[in-house]
Amino acid sequence: MIVSRLGLGVMTLVAVSAVVFFSMALLPGDIAQQMLGQAGTPEAVANIRHDLGIDRPIGQRYVSWMSGVLHGDFGRSLASGRPIAQIAKGRLVNTLFLASFAAIVSVPLSVGLGILAALYRRRPVDTAINVFTLLAISFPEFLIAYLLIYLFTVEARWAPSLAVVGTDTPLPERLHKTVLPVMTLTLAVAAHMTRLTRAAIVNVLASPYIEMAHLKGLIAWRVIVRHALPNALGPIISVVVLNLAYLIVGVVVVEVVFTYPGLGQLMVDSVSKRDVPVVQASCLIFAATYIALNLVADVASMIFDPRRSL
């Protein structure tokens, strides 16, 4: 079961890489023609086409692009001419740093709040958590980001609104600069996780063995933590991992707001410059991370719920 799920993941990745690559063939017109504009003589266009390798058949190009990617070579950027792997590497590290920082904060927070809401369901605490999470889901990320900037940078003068970090920024300074981006991501992601954690536990609470535990005279939080939580763990873990996958996307907007030098910002910049090879490379990296996390979610829920792996 787990092996076949892994195989499916690899197949999905190959199919996605094909979509990413062949969608470029939909491009109206010719990149070489566009780069040179009106002034391009047929010879110059042919030269550029040869340099870019787009005079070869598309199937052949896909195979060579894919083998390059597997060796960590994503080709060259159209805008700057530099190798994409070199541009993207540092930015990928920055993005992963931001996403993992946000994950470390948001996962315990939302699982805790979800348990709290399930414990006090239909009481004021639950209602407050419900309203707050619904608001957080409805707010666009950039609104949350600017609200936080307004509160913590302008009013409280407590955290910087720009998260410009370099490779040599020491860790404490890096943490301080990324406080607001992390808070934004946490608010965006924790809302979903909290709601679904609550739903998963409430689901289990209807079972007879929970009633039994109550009848034995156990106190409420012990019933939840020792009896309900282990059985709700499967769905909770898959929700957590799926939301980590969502973090990967949320990172794009947050990086732009706080001008954080990550992969998402690179991708948005490259889309406006129409630097297709860079967009393809970042798309592939994001998609691969997303698919891998989805895979982990499925495998984890199989491990925690043996019925599913039969």
The CB-based long-range contact list for 220-229 (8 Å cut-off, 24+ gap) reads: 220/119, 221/119, 224/115, 224/118, 224/119, 225/115, 228/118, 228/201, 228/204, 229/115, 229/201
First to last CA, the chain: 8
Question: Could you say which of 96, 105, 276, 296 contacts another protein (CB under 8 A)?
Answer: 276
H or E element, residue 112: helix 84-119
Q: Which stretch binds another protein (CB under 8 A): 26-34, 67-75, 96-104, 174-182?
A: 26-34
Q: Binding residues for another protein, how many (CB under 8 A)?
A: 52
Residue 42 Cβ vs another protein, minimum distance, rounded to whole Å: 24
Question: Could you say which of 4, 28, 124, 307 contacts another protein (CB under 8 A)?
Answer: 28
Residue 179 Cβ vs another protein, minimum distance, rounded to whole Å: 17
Give the whole-angstrom CA distance, residue 89 versus residue 247.
19
Cα distances from 211 to residues 116, 123, 206, 305, in angstroms, run 19, 20, 8, 21
Residue 100 Cβ vs another protein, minimum distance, rounded to whole Å: 18
Q: Which of residues 128-167 bind another protein (CB under 8 A)?
A: 134-135, 137-143, 146-147, 149-150, 153-155, 161
What are the two backbone dihedrals, phi and then psi, of residue 96, each rounded to the nearest 5 degrees? -65, -40
Q: How many CB atoms lie within 10 A of CB 225?
A: 13
Buried b (16+ CB within 10 A) or exposed e, 267-286: bbebeeeebbbbbbbbbbbb
Q: Which of residues 196-255 bind another protein (CB under 8 A)?
A: 202, 245-246, 248-249, 252-253
Question: Could you say which of 15, 164, 220, 225 contacts another protein (CB under 8 A)?
Answer: 15
Q: Is 59 a residue that touches another protein (CB under 8 A)?
A: no
Chain contacts with another protein (rule: CB under 8 A):
12, 15-16, 19-20, 23-24, 26-28, 134-135, 137-143, 146-147, 149-150, 153-155, 161, 202, 245-246, 248-249, 252-253, 256-257, 267-268, 270-272, 274-276, 279-280, 283, 286-287, 290-291, 294
